[in-house]
Amino acid sequence: MAEGTHSFPSDFVWGTATASYQIEGAWDQDGKGLSIWDVFTHDASLMQDKGASGDVACDSYNKYPEDIALMKDLGVSSYRMSLAWPRIIPDPISGEVNEKGVAFYNRVIDALLDAGIEPSVTLYHWDLPLVLEEKVGGWASEDIIPYFLKYADVCFDRFGDRVKFWITFNEPDIFIDHGYVLDWHAPGRADFKDIGPYPVSFNVVRAHGKAYRLYDEKYRPTQKGRIGITLNCDWSQPKDPSNPADVEARLRYFQIKIGLFTNPIFVNGDYPEELKERISSRSEPGKSRLPTFTEEEKAYLKGSSDFFGLNYYTTRLVASKPMEDTPGYLGDKSYEGQTDPSWPRAVSNWLYSVPWGLRKLLGTIKNDFGDPDIYITENGFTTQPGVLHDPDRIQYLREHLTELSKAINEDKCRVRGYYLWSLIDNFEWHQGYKERFGIYSIDFSDPARPRTPKDSVAFYRQVVQSGKV
């Protein structure tokens, strides 16, 4: 390896990523049903970017051939996309499949394969059919699980002959915390602000486990694909490593942010013991706010992911914040995440560039979760709208990919692929269009939604095509 050059394996998967609601638009086209985001974005009291929605977004429903051409020019070997559940099954209670929605995704998948790009498909990237929120209770109700299984079954059946890489859920911690604990994201509820996210995460992780077993038993023998889950996690470390309280706070942070999913799926089918004990001790006697898995559930959850999908963006310094006397979720946490003023910040107020945090996190995943295959399914940086000269993004990507190469070559972490977020500027949830993750700029004031390359396109193309940073 030349000095100053960091390389990647010859079979490393290079990709880009997007999500259905963030790019497709066509909110009511060809039989699509309403999603919780279709309603949430039209409530001005909930959106930080007033008036922004995914009604049109990048118009990728109609312009997907242009997006695929951009990817082909980059030279990526894979594209991480998501399916819109309400486009495929508009009314899950009736269960009728929308054949026009299926036909759309068949066109996209076939066009990707024709371009030599493998589709990596996420089943759930947050756009829940509205009817399931209104009539079933959304992810707060375990009654949603059979509906998710029906949806997964339809997707495996209709697309699995060509799709060989499946992700059940994207960032469950975020859509649960922001949608059901806070009211920042759809469905805009805060029912679990005091109780904590535990009942909702309990439903989601069981839905994941059942979908994994469905694929494993019914489809894998003939389709021979892989299926897993994508989790978001900041690297976290004690603000003061010599302070035992900060060390313990950092452990709580990690367990609540990611342990609710990693432990059942990658360790033993159950929650971390420390977390069970803490929440039980802070609940009514005999009525822990943390649900309990049955032995059957533990059995189907353990080992229910063929890889570890990781979305990494930033790092936090975690300090103890004594709140044990506070009832509920805040007392469970008793920590606060902080940043270092020396860290470069993106336009997003939460996103700081801390490349060494990625390497540390990958090492922890290797050591704590059975040395799994890892795919970095999102990593990226925001700039202002309209900016084409983006040296900050290039620097962020260069430094993070350098640390990723070290994790692979020196630490022997089994990272198999990297998906840059995002291919194109898109709708960034409650922030709307104020923050831009894309390496291609989109003018959202132009009905034609033209795609224009930023400087980072040339950088990423060079990395992808050379396999080196």
Domains present along the chain, CATH in parentheses: 13-466 (3.20.20.80)
Q: Which two tokens stand for residue 241?
A: 């490593």
Question: Residues 456, 468: contact at Cβ < 8 Å?
Answer: no
378 counts as catalytic? yes
**pLDDT value, residue 2:** 40
Tens of pLDDT, residue by residue over 229-255, are 999 999 999 999 999 999 999 999 999
Say how far residue 456 (Cα) sits from the centre of its chain: 22
Token readout for 224 is 């021979």
Is there a catalytic annotation at residue 336?
A: no
Separation CA 192–CA 389 (nearest Å): 42
Percent of the chain with pLDDT over 70: 99
Q: What pLDDT, on the 0 to 100 scale, is given for residue 1?
A: 37
pLDDT score recorded for residue 359: 98
Q: Which helix (H) or strand (E) holds 123?
A: strand 118-124
Contact yes or no for 432/384 (Cβ under 8 A): no
Strands (E), 241-364: 308-311, 315-320, 335-338
- Cα–Cα distances (Å) from 358 to 116, 234, 312, 375, in that order, read 29, 8, 7, 13
Q: Classify 134 as helix, strand or coil.
A: helix
Task: Quickly list H helices, 220-319.
Answer: 220-223, 244-254, 260-262, 273-281, 295-301
Q: Compute CA 4 distance to the chain's CA centroid, rounded to the nearest angstrom.
A: 32
Q: What does the alpha-carbon distance between residue 390 and residue 456 come to, in Å, rounded to a whole number? A: 6
Average pLDDT, the chain: 96
From the list 24, 118, 133, 171, the catalytic residue is 171
In the beta sheet, which residues pair with residue 442?
A: 451
Residues of the chain with pLDDT under 70: 1-4
Say which of 24, 118, 133, 378 is annotated catalytic: 378
The pLDDT, as a whole number, for residue 323 is 85
Strand pairing category for 451-453 and 440-442: antiparallel
Rounded-to-integer distance, Cα 446 and Cα 448, Å:
5
SS3 at position 246 = helix
Can you give 6-44 as a three-state secondary structure string?
Answer: CECCCCCEEEEECCHHHHCCCCCHHHCCCEHHHHHCCCC
